[in-house]
Structure 1
Amino acid sequence: MTPIGLLMDISQSFAMTESQTGIMITVYAWVVALLSLPLMLLVCQMEMRRLLLGTMGLFVLGQLASGLALNFPMLMAARISVACAHSIFWSIAAPIATRLVTRTHRPLALSMIVTGSAVAMIFGLPLGRIIGLYAGWRMTFLTITATALAVLLYLAFVFPKLASDASFSRDDLPKLLRNPVVVSVYILSVLFATAYFTAYSYIEPFLKIVAAFSDQGITSTLMFLGVSGLVGSFVFSHFYNHFRYGIIRAGLLGLVIPFLLWKAAAGGAGTMVAACLVVGCASTLFNVTFQAELIRHVPMGAAPVAMSIFSGIFNVGIGGGTWIGGQVTAHGLLPYIGYAGAAIGLVAAVYCFTAYFHFLGRAGESHQKKS
């Protein structure tokens, strides 16, 4: 996420356009998409503590290389190494969290992961942008390096050994992919991510050029967007078990409606910030809800691999959305980027409310009981 708030500065450093440097986000996402499953199958039998620490170590090295990159190809290579760490981390984070708690506390554990991500959005992206504005984008990556190293050292002292559940093998993969509920979760994840990142990847130039926000206003808006993620996490942890179908609907409609109003909302600072808040809440709500849906419908031993596919497919959507947003921007249609995201989001909503709910019914879920 960090480069999203630094696209303009990175572009200036390498004498490139924003749409050209934006390909860095696309490539990052596609690397995660391609490597999540192969890497997870490769390391799924490793002891979880060792795997987590090794993943964090790779993340630290990748961020350090990003800050020291002398040219754009070097920066791209560094981001690819970070993408490899990303691939493994988001495959194991949710399964580890749910294994450390009782079944009744799993929604809370998942919401805490998303809360951590939301806090990172609140402070990480805006602070990264502030550091970039005043000390250069390289210092942003070096600051992340130092912070991640501190986290790595902390985990080395406090994280317990947690044996890997090696009950899943490559021979079990076809069975997993024959589950229509699981496949539907993957379809929805790629559609949602594509819709969201079509507009979000270019939120900085949209706010600056279309909404006429100042640099400080952009930073504040990104921070508010992160705060809204906390709201989404709160809603999930308190209402998912009782109003599951309503939560699913809210996550999708909360994306489509604000994006339809994206251009109109840019006419006023208050309406633009409000639209961003709703989108941020919906994004968090969708992400944590469908991670919970996935874990709910796969065996515990298959959860890390299932999550690796989820992460990979979600990043296909990120890459696709960033590419679509780049095309919209490159053709001078930046003010209309919200419509592009809304159109894709509407496809996701229609699929969810028809096919996904249908497959849940066939799997024995009661719409009335869960809504």
Structure 2
Amino acid sequence: MAAQKTSWRNWVAVTALGIGSFTIVTSELAPIGLLSGIGDDLGISTSQAGLIVTLYAWIAAAAALFSAMVLSRAPRRPLLTALMLILAVSSGAAAMAGSFPELMGARVIGALSHGAFWVSIGIVSTQLVPPHRVGLATSIIFGGVSAASVLGVPLASLIGTGEGWRTAFAAVSALSFAVALICGMTLPKLPGSQSVGFSDMGRVLSNSRFLRIFAAAVLAITAHFMAFTYIEPYLHVQSAIKPSFIAPLLLAFGGAGLVANIVTGGLIDRRLKQVLMVSLSVASGALWLLSSSANMLGLSGTVLMLILWGGAIAVVMVSFQTWILKEAGVDALPASAIYVAIFNLSIGLGAMIGAFILTLAELSQIFFIAATATAMGAFLIVLIAAPATAPSDQQMASGSDGTADM
């Protein structure tokens, strides 16, 4: 009976972290659905507005590495709650920004908490559930990324269209405060893990398998955000798509990701490599068709491509995170910190490359290059042997000090 109680509380905590990841990714990606409004209000171009995503992501990457080395021993519940409160302050300040520099400054504050939060929840999943359920727990926690696309970005777009982009940021601030309260009430007492130093980071980076996984992740994630950062302007210029359709289309994109995570949550534990390869291939194909056949797809064809792309990329993100945790063993925390840094660097790189391409070519070219890079990522995965079907006992031992205190 006690075991059942422990299991129930752990899964509640996993769900709370999923809500937290939803909120923090919504904060990061909300500008994607608001670029036109932000640009018009502050008198800047769409490509310059896209840099809001780039700078945020790069600072979050640095914060992830810093937090792994400095904050790794901090108790998880107060740490994660405080990080959500910082995010709330950041979004509130963004809502009141009167100029582009002020908006960027507010975003910097949020980025600092973002990286620290993300690296912390990655390792906490291994502390809360047994080895053979890490894939499912990771799908729930990082399913918040897909849920952010389902509700976060589309709702931000809807609010921005009706009430202005500032109101959208204010809503994110209010949600962040609410999630901070939920995390404070539902997370069990989790002590910090071992300290992480440069030698730990170096050990991970000297592992050739990790390097190949990281390289595939860079290609796939950079490609995705190269296109996704500019999805709202892309949809705006399609003759078959009215402006009022954009938020529902983003909803379809994110909804597909949420469903795909639910469907593949258990399968990832057993067939991780196959799931990742198929997902990358589907994402690449959808991006290629959005680029090459934009004027022929029409509304229904565009919806189908967005559903395929959204579902596939959501599974890709969870699969990479799960693979890292399965491979890491006792190096789960440094490996997760490096992956989070790489992920956010790739978000920023994708947004920056997209902005550069946009100064030289049309929006459709961004999607073509993204399709090519995603296909290259799939090819790299082919060359990597599949991980074990469950995380090692060593990995769980590395988080043994973090077992929930019931």
* 1:81 shift after superposition: 1.1
The 1-side partners of 2:388 and 2:348 are apart by: 35
- Kept in 1: contact 2:357–2:366 (CA 8 A): yes
The 2-side partners of 1:259 and 1:110 are apart by: 26
Q: Which residues in structure 2 correspond to 1:1-371 (within 5 Å)?
A: 1-166=29-194, 168-263=196-291, 264-267=293-296, 268-300=298-330, 302-354=331-383, 356-357=384-385, 360=386
- Kept in 1: contact 2:82–2:180 (CA 8 A): no
The 2-side partners of 1:289 and 1:211 are apart by: 36
Q: CA deviation digits over 1:301-336, x for unaligned, max 9?
A: x32332221111112211121122112222241132
Single out whichever of 8-17 and 112-121 deviates more from structure 2.
112-121
* 1:33 shift after superposition: 2.4
The 2-side partners of 1:303 and 1:331 are apart by: 42
How large is the Cα RMSD of the aligned pairs? 1.8
Q: CA deviation digits over 1:257-288, x for unaligned, max 9?
A: 11111131453111111111111111111111
The 1-side partners of 2:192 and 2:172 are apart by: 29
Where 1:305 maps in the other structure, the secondary structure is helix
Is there any run of 5+ residues in structure 1 with no aligned partner, and where? 366-371
In the alignment, residue 321 of structure 2 is paired with which amino acid? Q
In the alignment, residue 219 of structure 2 is paired with which amino acid? L
The 2-side partners of 1:266 and 1:105 are apart by: 44
Where 1:326 maps in the other structure, the secondary structure is helix
Count of residue correspondences: 359
Single out whichever of 69-78 and 229-238 deviates more from structure 2.
229-238
The 2-side partners of 1:364 and 1:113 are apart by: 21
The 2-side partners of 1:187 and 1:226 are apart by: 25
Q: CA deviation digits over 1:3-26, x for unaligned, max 9?
A: 000000000011111011111111
The 1-side partners of 2:206 and 2:136 are apart by: 29
Distance 1:213 1:40, change over 3 A: same
The 1-side partners of 2:377 and 2:362 are apart by: 23
Where 1:45 maps in the other structure, the secondary structure is coil
- Kept in 2: contact 1:190–1:315 (CA 8 A): no
TM-score, normalised to structure 1's length? 0.92
Partner residue in 1 for 2:396: none
- Kept in 1: contact 2:68–2:195 (CA 8 A): no
Q: CA deviation digits over 1:169-201, x for unaligned, max 9?
A: 433222122222222221111111111111111
The 2-side partners of 1:340 and 1:205 are apart by: 17
Q: CA deviation digits over 1:182-234, x for unaligned, max 9?
A: 22221111111111111111111111103541122111110000111112212
| Structure 1 outlier segments of 4+, above 3 Å | 167-170
In the alignment, residue 166 of structure 2 is paired with which amino acid? R
In the alignment, residue 348 of structure 2 is paired with which amino acid? G
In the alignment, residue 369 of structure 2 is paired with which amino acid? A
Where 1:221 maps in the other structure, the secondary structure is helix
- Kept in 2: contact 1:211–1:269 (CA 8 A): no
* 1:125 shift after superposition: 0.9
Is there any run of 5+ residues in structure 2 with no aligned partner, and where? 1-28, 390-406
Single out whichever of 1-10 and 150-159 deviates more from structure 2.
150-159
Single out whichever of 95-104 and 61-70 deviates more from structure 2.
95-104
In the alignment, residue 31 of structure 1 is paired with which amino acid? I
In the alignment, residue 338 of structure 1 is paired with which amino acid? F
* 1:364 shift after superposition: 8.2
* 1:297 shift after superposition: 1.0
The 1-side partners of 2:182 and 2:319 are apart by: 29
Partner residue in 2 for 1:368: none
Distance 1:364 1:10, change over 3 A: closer
- Kept in 1: contact 2:62–2:115 (CA 8 A): no
* 1:339 shift after superposition: 0.7
TM-score, normalised to structure 2's length? 0.84
The 2-side partners of 1:266 and 1:124 are apart by: 28
The 2-side partners of 1:285 and 1:186 are apart by: 16
* 1:294 shift after superposition: 0.4
